[in-house]
Amino acid sequence: MSVVMLPPRDRARLEGVHRDLVRVVERARQVVPFIVTEGLRTRARQAELVALGASRTMNSRHLTGHAVDLAYWLDDGDGAVEQGEVRWDWPLYEQIGAAMKRAAKELTVPIVWGGDWASFRDGPHFELDRTAYP
By CB under 5 A, residue 39 contacts Zn ion: no
Contacts of 51 (CB under 8 A, 6+ apart): none
Stretch that binds Zn ion, among 10-18, 39-47, 75-83, 124-132 (CB under 5 A): 124-132
By CB under 5 A, residue 26 contacts Zn ion: no
Nearer to Zn ion, 60 or 103 (CB): 60
The whole-angstrom separation of Cα 37 and Cα 69 is 5
Tell which one of 69, 72, 96, 103 touches Zn ion (CB under 5 A): 69
Which residue number places its CB atom closest to Zn ion? 125
> Shortest gap between Cβ of 22 and Zn ion (angstroms)?
15
Torsion sign across C-alpha atoms 78, 6, 57, 103: positive
CA angle 15, 16, 19 (to 5 degrees): 90
Contacts of 86 (CB under 8 A, 6+ apart): 35, 37, 71, 72, 73, 74
> Shortest gap between Cβ of 25 and Zn ion (angstroms)?
13
By CB under 5 A, residue 125 contacts Zn ion: yes
The footprint of Zn ion (CB under 5 A) covers 69, 125
